[in-house]
């Protein structure tokens, strides 16, 4: 499988071992098809999910895969781990080893986690300029007060990264429960933000990414495929505010 864009002649040569000059001959003879159409142009671009065949035999036929998982606590957001169960261990699919995580959650955090084999899609989601909002519900050790709201909106200076966090929206739900919307994902970001008030996060649950809500039908540890509408819409802002 290839992760990035490649020129067709390079792709054929790499997959078959045939040198690039001879690949030109194959193309001239109409023996290569790309997405079902006879290919003639050596410069045609092949992506990860382009269907490529030679003499009717498939050279590449990767299917894009997008999963939403309800991550339970005590599972690592990683593809392998020596000690703990990983999010990939929860997936019972043949292609599970080709999947990667689009936006991690900490070991004890729960909720919406996205897995995919589509590097372009996950990169778009995580680009700072995409400004995809991630929404969390947190339970705190101490009461949360109105002064937090402006502090979260103004941002916190993170010395280690040398950045000030982007404005975050905080809604106080009850004395020790708040919801927070972020457009970035720094290491332990929410815990560090509440840490500025010496207020420990007792539980952290992500319930939405962009306009995609965690499916309430999924119990912790369960997953489902995203619909094609969800795949294309996730980067777009929600039409109604998430409450």
Of the candidates 204, 212, 226, 234, which one interacts with ligand URA according to CB under 6 A? 204
- Establish if 140 lies at the interface with ligand URA (CB under 6 A): no
Of the candidates 190, 208, 212, 226, which one interacts with ligand URA according to CB under 6 A? 190
Please state at what angle helix 20-28 crosses helix 8-16, rounded to 10 degrees: 110
From the CB of 203, what's the least distance to ligand URA, in Å? 10
In this complex, which beta carbon is closest to ligand URA, that of residue 44 or of residue 109? Answer: 109
Strands 157-158 and 201-209: unpaired
Strands 201-209 and 110-116: parallel
Contacts of 219 (CB under 8 A, 6+ apart): 70
Q: How far apart (Å, rounded) are the C-alpha atoms in residues 3 and 7?
A: 13
From the CB of 79, what's the least distance to ligand URA, in Å? 17
Q: How far apart (Å, rounded) are the C-alpha atoms in residues 98 and 117?
A: 6
Q: Candidates 59-67, 189-197, 211-219, 220-228: pick the segment binding ligand URA (CB under 6 A).
A: 189-197
**213 three-class SS:** strand
- Report phi then psi at 230, rounded to 5: -65, -40
Q: How far apart (Å, rounded) are the C-alpha atoms in residues 165 and 46?
A: 38
Q: How far apart (Å, rounded) are the C-alpha atoms in residues 110 and 203?
A: 8
Of the candidates 81, 106, 139, 169, which one interacts with ligand URA according to CB under 6 A? 106
In this complex, which beta carbon is closest to ligand URA, that of residue 8 or of residue 209? Answer: 209
- Establish if 191 lies at the interface with ligand URA (CB under 6 A): yes
- Binding positions for ligand URA, 148-167, rule CB under 6 A: none
Q: Candidates 18-26, 101-109, 163-171, 213-221: pick the segment binding ligand URA (CB under 6 A).
A: 101-109
In this complex, which beta carbon is closest to ligand URA, that of residue 67 or of residue 190? Answer: 190
Binding site for ligand URA (CB under 6 A): 105-106, 109, 188-191, 204
């Amino acid at each position: 499988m290839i992760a990035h864009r490649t020129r067709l002649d390079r792709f054929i040569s790499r997959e078959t071992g045939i040198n690039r000059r001879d690949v030109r001959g194959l193309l001239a003879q109409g023996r290569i098809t790309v997405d079902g159409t006879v290919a003639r142009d050596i410069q045609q671009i092949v992506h990860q999910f382009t269907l490529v065949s030679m003499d009717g035999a498939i050279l590449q036929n990767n299917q894009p895969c997008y999963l939403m998982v309800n991550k339970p606590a005590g599972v690592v957001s990683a593809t392998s781990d020596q000690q703990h169960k990983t999010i990939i261990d929860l997936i019972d699919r043949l292609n599970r080893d080709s999947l990667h995580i689009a936006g991690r959650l900490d070991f004890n955090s729960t909720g919406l986690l996205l897995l995919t084999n589509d590097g372009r899609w996950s990169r778009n989601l995580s680009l700072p300029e995409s400004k995809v909002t991630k929404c969390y519900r947190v339970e705190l050790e101490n009461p949360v007060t109105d002064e937090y709201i402006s502090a979260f909106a103004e941002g916190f200076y993170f010395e280690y990264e040398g950045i000030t966090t982007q404005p975050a929206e905080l809604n106080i739900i009850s004395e020790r429960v708040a919801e927070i919307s972020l457009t970035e994902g720094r290491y332990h970001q929410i815990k560090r933000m509440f840490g500025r008030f010496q207020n420990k996060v007792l539980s952290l649950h992500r319930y939405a990414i962009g306009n995609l809500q965690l499916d309430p039908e999924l119990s912790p540890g369960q997953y489902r495929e995203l619909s094609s509408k969800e795949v294309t819409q996730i980067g777009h802002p929600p039409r109604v505010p998430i409450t």
